[in-house]
Amino acid sequence: MLSQQAAKVRASIGDEELRKSYDGFDDVTRSGVFGLQSQQLEERVLREIGPGFFDSADFEVLQLLGRISVMRDIGGHTEGLTAVIAYAARFLPRLPMQRPLTVLLKEYLPVARAVAFNELLVLSKLCDLPQDQYVVRHRDSANRPTTRHPPLVPLLGYFVSAPSEEAASVSLDSAAGSVWLVYRWEGLRPLNMYLGDVRPPEGTPSFFKRKEVAEAEAWRARHSWLRAVSRALLGAVAHCHGAGVTHGSISSGTVFLSSTRDEDADSLFVKLDNFGFGRLDPGGPLGLATPQLPNLDIDSTSRNEGRKHDLQATALTLLEAYSAATATSPSGALARTSLTRLLFEIYWDDMAAFRQYCADDPPLSRLVAFLDEGDRGGWDFIAQLVRGNRGASELLLHPFLQLL
């Protein structure tokens, strides 16, 4: 059964897609903070969570899914280092009458050891971790149907073990042990895969429906799906903030979708992943270096600064999705780096000028039309996110997100 399931996974997601699925930490830091804080975080994990109750012998790796990289300054230039390796695996219960369970394993190399322990601390505040291996087996928690709550990829536990051959071949310290985090396998697809694959919607004309009418209906369905993604992502951010957690690295690589089909807008839900740069209110766990946005001091211990950063990162992520989903040519999809420069440097706090910039570019005409809906409500919604003065729960009620 598991062999068939693994074969379906491999057949449904190509090698390039698998690599893109796990790039949530790419370019997230250019500092050497990891080693300095790893010991403190490990001590805190042992104190608050306890030792990991899994063992490497409990798992059989089915497939390497991809790598997550970080950027570091080395001698005046930046260099990408493999920090995390993701695997599809099966957990092998040792109790009678228990079937193997499909799980996601993330192996954190020594360079990202602090990120692993930070993620453990953050997720322990967002979800109840099983207290021992028996609980995981008895509840069959790794094999439950996927549900929309909580809006994060569920963590089952962790263990520390020798590095895999793959990790040892790329690690700066091949003798050091890896930290392995165990997650429930849910089969969700990351938003960044959607950005690379999305195409303009196609209407289905018939004898009773002209082509123009069918095309207009298809675009309305696309717009409904984009608003559903916006509501679901903001709801996930609101859930974290309500629990006293800021994510710290929201991007298209850390947002996972239940469906990428326009017709599934009503049932769509979102889950957040990669909490390695998250923090707990106030100012903790230890404030790992996180992606920088202009005009924002993310290393501040202020709770509001962390939440503001999450909302601004949400604005960038949604604009990436909006532009890709409304593009009728490759030039209509705006890259995150371009959006960051436009929103936070060129048109900072001037959404009218940013709209005019987009309106003057013909490939962005569909993006402009979408954000113009509801008396240009989409532009106001993005502006509110960029300012970061209103909470995620409040922004969920924005009129633009309530349009049909």
CATH assignment at residue 118: 3.30.200.20
280 and 374 share one domain: yes
What is the domain extent for residue 345?
Answer: 190-401
21 and 140 share one domain: yes
Among 186, 203, 231, where does a domain finish?
186
Q: Quick one: which H or E segment has residue 353? A: helix 351-359
- The model's pLDDT over 30-53, given as tens digits with 9 standing for 90+, comes to 344 445 477 888 888 888 888 887
Mean pLDDT, the chain, whole residue set: 81
What's the pLDDT score for residue 302?
64
146 and 109 share one domain: yes
194 and 181 share one domain: no
Q: What is the CATH number of the domain that holds 290?
A: 1.10.510.10
pLDDT mean over 255-262:
93
- The model's pLDDT over 264-300, given as tens digits with 9 standing for 90+, comes to 999 999 999 999 889 887 644 444 444 444 444 444 4
Number of structural domains in the chain: 2
Q: Is residue 24 pLDDT above 50, yes or no?
A: no
**Mapping DSSP to helix (H, G, I), strand (E, B) and coil, where does residue 272 land?**
strand
**Mapping DSSP to helix (H, G, I), strand (E, B) and coil, where does residue 177 land?**
coil
146 and 212 share one domain: no
52 and 150 share one domain: yes
Find the Cα–Cα–Cα–Cα dihedral 27, 46, 104, 113, rounded to 10°: 30
Among 186, 220, 250, where does a domain finish?
186
Asked whether the beta carbons of 343 and 371 are under 8 A apart, the reply is: no
249 and 154 share one domain: no
Q: Is residue 103 pLDDT above 70, yes or no?
A: yes
291 and 180 share one domain: no
Residues 6+ apart with CB under 8 A from 236: 151, 152, 255, 270, 271, 272
179 and 198 share one domain: no
281 and 339 share one domain: yes
12 or 330, which is more confident: 330
Asked whether the beta carbons of 269 and 330 are under 8 A apart, the reply is: no
11 and 90 share one domain: yes
The highest-confidence range among 210-214, 284-288, 301-305, 335-339, by mean pLDDT, is: 335-339
The whole-angstrom separation of Cα 309 and Cα 293 is 8
Q: What does the DSSP 8-state code read for residue 321?
A: H
What's the pLDDT score for residue 232?
96
* pLDDT band for position 26 (cuts 50, 70, 90): very low
- The amino acid at 29: T
143 and 212 share one domain: no
